[in-house]
Structure 1
Amino acid sequence: MRSLVVLGFVGSTLDASKLGPSRWGKWRPTVGMCMQEDLRIDRLELIHGSAHDGLASYVRADIARVSPETDVRLHEMSLTNPWDFEEVYGKLLDFARAYPFDPEAEDYLIHITTGTHVAQICLFLLTEARYLPGRLLQTHPPKGKHDDCAGNWSAIDLDLSRYDSIATRFEQAAVEASSFLKSGIETRNAVFNRMIDEIEQVSVRSRAPLLLMGPTGAGKSQLARRIFDLKRSKHQVSGEFVEVNCATLRGDSAMSALFGHKKGAFTGAATDRPGLLRAANKGVLFLDEIGELGLDEQAMILRAIEEKRFLPVGADKESSSDFQLIAGTNRDLGAAVAAGSFRDDLFARLNLWTFELPALRDRLEDIEPNLDYELDRFAEREGNRVSFNKEARRTFLDFATAPDALWTGNFRDLAASVTRMATFAPAGRIDVATVEAEKLRLRRFWSGQKGPEDPLGELLDASTLAAIDPIERVQLAEVVRTCRRSRSLSEAGRQLYSASRARRTSSNDADRLRKYLQRHGLEWSALHAETSSS
């Protein structure tokens, strides 16, 4: 039969009592747990401070009376400040590392009812991290039984999978957070939904910068604001959401707008200006189109991210701001680094958490739920509820999800389209005639727009392209795009074979990629020559 060992602190208040028979009418946690009929404790490792030697011996003597089979071993732990987390955790960690645990022969319970709150928290953390290989033990005073000094007990296994109701609540909370990031839209695209789930986890667990990539109109700005709202709902930020479109910042005005300036720093600087970084203190700074910033601004942004400090224009004293950065771009920052227009060190700092929002044409199954969302937004904005009739809705969806629907402006195009139809809808009902008129507008608009980029059309002749299966063509096009934005064949190979290379003991990704390109009549040098000439 396995031995049961309990480890805990003596309670300087709860375990103390006056000498005499009256003490047996009081609930004392450490003594009471040794009085439980259904909890046979073979050994009790009782930790106490140097000031409580007498109390620890007194408790051990009383346990010997009620549970003579329990071997009580006292451990003095000298603490300079029992309310200092670092000291208490460090001393307990040293104790745990030195203790001869034998999980094969013994079961362990960690008593967290006694000791200071700091000690209880440290015991919990060490048990959760498995430095203490056991379950948590809680003891409770008796309810309504004044003559019961044993009280009650319960053990807690930190494997939450055993607690279905708790696990379900955690899962539901994660689902609600993901839905929040999607503005409550029941999106159907599997790739997008997985990305949102990852963003939800990162948003609540990390303060590192986030990089949102994707074409104009894909929803980067709205997602950034929802991330901020989610973090604020969890009390992770207390400041404001500050959004900056870096494409509108040029020259000296960029420095002044971002970092602020002192009065008289330049002509027109009539007063001090705190700057947008200061405005985002304790909040979130969203730098949309960050790829448009100049190299000097990029250098200062990098320092502000890493050190939380920056120098306003014309100032001789630094300012500080503690913000979380979310960056957005529709540019290929890897290619910009290679071209020398974006700093390599800033890109490396931003590239920890990178998420690429797909274009609307890659999420055609999400047009229908977004249609309802845009109608709801129109109703909130205009105070007028508009809906489709059944035939009109089907007509529009058939058109919107067709292969030749470009949606070059992505969700901005869709939002504008719904607004126009809702505005022109007769009697608050969008009919087929309204849809047909909108189709004509969109076709006229798209007729002057360039379709989705197909790099293969620039590299291969028509007969060669015709001989490639559609599924192979999609793969080859992505390989070409990756090669063009990579600085070397090896870098491109690492990106393209990142999953399979982890399963191989040795790899030569560059050679593997070279052979793939040659199979289609392409050379690495030709891809980069094509890029530099375009």
Structure 2
Amino acid sequence: MRNVVIGFLGTQLDMGKRRPWRPSVQLCQHPGFPVDRLELIHDGRHYHLACQIAAAIGQVSPETEVRLVRLDMADPWDFQEVYGKLYDFAANYGFDEDRERYHVHLTTGTHVAQICWFLLTESRHIPARLLQSGPPRDGDPPQGKLDVIDLDLSRYNALQRRFEAAAREHSALLLGGVETTNPVMLALAQRLDLVATSSDAPILLLGEHGTGKSALATRIHELKLVRRRIKGRLVQVNCATLRGGQALPALFGQRRAATGQPGSERAGFLREADGGVLLLEQIETLGADEQAALLQVIETGRYCPVGSDAEVTTRFHLIATAANDPGPLVRSGQVRADLLARLSQWVFRLPPLRERRSDIRALVLDLVDKSERQLGRKTGFNADALARYLRFAEDPATSWPGNLRDLQASAHRMTVLAERGRITVPMVEAEIAHLCAQWQAADADGDMALLQAVLPGVALDEFDRAQLAAVIRTCRDCPTLSAAGRQLFAVSRAGKASQNDADRLRKYLARFGLDWAAVTGHPDD
């Protein structure tokens, strides 16, 4: 198979003024790499030099055919022009890979041309390998060095393993060092690694309370530091605490002119986050004025502190969190639609603990280990105690309403109470009883609050309160009316002549004057 080399005429190196080594000439003298044809690209202004180089090649390598290819460029350092000209050259060349093996000579040409060669070969617009030649050094033959660079990374196993190891390290960092078998969490970590290290756009983390949104935001900040995307610190703000007239000064800062009182100046959270990450928790609780001002900062990178007419510039990576899908809040006017649009470029939903039960074992052991380090002593589960705890924790009937927050508190309690350094079955039984009592008490209060929000002022029997509250929670957890019906009537469906679960649920809600839209904020499916 014939070797064909494509390369630029070296307007400086090929003249041979600095050293006798001329890359385009000596390229054709390597005994282990015969050049059957050289496509020598030149500008019209250097035609005579191209002819001289072709003649020199004819003397040292008569078997090499030299084709002079004229390619005029107004500015060989203009990336757009060089890439466009080389792209057109490649499109019109007519490569014959069955008979010829193609190579691109990188040594000559501007740095811009070398980058364009790489892009065109890596994308296979030019089906070639890269050649890098170099002048002779002590002990080298007079033709110098010649290296063939193959862009097939699958051949570089060590390099590939380095890439894979780095990806695993980043995923482990985002997951807090806890191994997961949950496909949702694995996919989330892999995608978030790419986004956090490549994009400066805001990130919106959604998930129930206690699913670990704040902890994940902290690890995103750590990953950005590792990848040198930022240099500043993480500034964490709970928007629910920004109330009244102090909300704007807290976020955007305040000048003395706003109050006229000495000592009233403050930098503001945006200034503190400059160069780092600003974490806004519960973004849906931010006031309307603050939302409008925040939107301007996201879009322009500029804002005016309270009491100042001079704009301040800032650059930070924004991470926002919300407990639920903010879509219904936009429809109710609580969240600005344009702000949500800016926050929604990268949205990640953290699954609740009940949807990642396969991870509970690893999570609880990691939490016990952290509590051990905090307490400065070694503690562990007896085998039967761990088995009993996992039967309870992984049971589908265990709802974990507080998610990781409940699991963390549970692990810490057991570690503290393990006076002799072992967690036993009686301790686990006592912990299970504590959790059940805690959740039952919370459900009783939660049912009243939930029903008052949906049916304000309506008195219900205790039986109806518990049943209707459970139905409403299921509706809000399910994407459609049909899905909620299937979950609620899964057992009794087999004994019914009609299996229209959606219709049964619709009729049940109608007994209380409710429908799917009133309960969930979404239209009926």
Could you tell me whether the CA contact under 8 Å between 1:291 and 1:331 is conserved in 2?
Answer: no
Hey, what does 2:107 align to over in structure 1?
A: 113
Structure 2 partner of 1:152: 146
Contact 2:137 2:144 in 1 (8 A): no
Between the two proteins, what is the percent identity of the paired residues?
39
TM-score after normalising by structure 1: 0.79
The whole-number CA distance in structure 2 between the counterparts of 1:359 and 1:480 is 21
Residue equivalent to 1:470: none
Q: By how many angstroms is 1:98 displaced?
A: 4.4
The answer for the alignment partner of 2:4 in structure 1 is 5
Query: 2:324, 2:187 → 1: CA distance?
Result: 23
CA–CA distance in 2 between the matches of 1:272 and 1:481? 56
Runs of 5+ consecutive residues of structure 2 not aligned to the other structure: 455-462, 464-473, 485-499
Kindly indicate whether the alpha-carbon contact (under 8 Å) linking 2:134 and 2:146 is maintained by their aligned counterparts in 1: yes
How far did 1:18 drift? 5.0
Deviations 1:198-250 (A, max 9, x none): 21122222222111100111011111111111121111112222211111111
Supply the distance in 2 between the matched residues of 1:362 and 1:64 (Cα, whole angstroms): 73
Query: Aligned equivalents of 1:481 and 1:385: distance in 2?
Result: 50
Indicate how the Cα distance of structure 1 residues 168 and 474 shifts in structure 2: closer, same or farther if over 3 A, else same.
Answer: farther
Amino acid at match of 1:259: F
Give the Cα separation in 1 of the matches to 2:287 and 2:242. Answer: 9
Instruction: Report how many residues are paired.
Output: 478
2:25 corresponds to:
31
Matched, 1:259 2:248: no
On the 8 A contact 2:231/2:275 being kept in 1, the answer is yes
Give the equivalent residue in structure 2 for 1:479. 480
What SS class does the counterpart of residue 218 from structure 1 fall into?
A: coil
Describe the shift of the 1:167–1:147 C-alpha distance in structure 2 as closer, same or farther (beyond 3 A). closer
**Which AA in structure 2 matches 1:364?**
R
TM-fit CA distance, 1:78: 4.4
State the distance in 2 between where 1:49 and 1:268 align.
Answer: 71
- 1:92 corresponds to 2:93: no
Alignment partner, residue 299 of structure 1 = 292
Contact 2:40 2:66 in 1 (8 A): no
Q: How does 1:208-227 map to 2 (within 5 A)?
A: 208-227=201-220
Moved more, 235-244 or 426-435: 426-435
SS of the residue aligned with 1:64? helix
Closer, same or farther in 2 for the Cα pair 1:276/1:521, shift >3 Å? Answer: closer
SS of the residue corresponding to residue 448 of structure 1 reads helix
Please, which of 95, 105, 109 is the counterpart of residue 103 of structure 1?
Answer: 95
Superposition map of 1:54-453 within 5 A? 56-68=50-62, 69-75=64-70, 77-78=72-73, 80=75, 84=77, 87-99=78-90, 100-104=92-96, 107-140=101-134, 145-157=139-151, 159-266=152-259, 270-450=263-443
In 2, Cα distance between equivalents of 1:46 and 1:273: 66
In structure 1, runs of 5+ residues without a counterpart are 463-472, 484-514
Structure 1, 283-292 or 264-273: larger mean CA deviation = 264-273
**Counterpart amino acid of 1:390?**
A
SS of equivalent to 1:188? coil
Shift, 1:292, TM fit: 0.7
RMSD of aligned alpha carbons: 3.6
TM-aligned CA deviation for residue 353 of structure 1 = 1.4
Q: TM-score, normalised by structure 2?
A: 0.81
Q: Which amino acid aligns with 1:437?
A: A
Match for residue 506 of structure 1?
none
Q: Is the 8 A contact 2:5 2:37 kept in 1?
A: yes
Deviations 1:455-482 (A, max 9, x none): 9xx9xxx9xxxxxxxxxx9999321399
Q: CA deviation at 1:123?
A: 2.4
**Following the alignment from structure 2 to structure 1, what is the Cα–Cα distance between the partners of residues 16 and 122?**
32
Q: Kindly provide the CA deviation profile for residues 299-334 of structure 1, in whole angstroms up to 9, marking residues without a partner as x.
A: 222221121112211211211111111111103200
CA shift in 2, pair 1:8/1:300, >3 Å: farther
**d(CA) in 2 for partners of 1:212 and 1:405?**
25
Check the 8 A contact 1:180/1:230 in 2, yes or no.
yes
Change (3 A) 1:359 1:102: same
* 3-state SS of 1:322 partner: coil
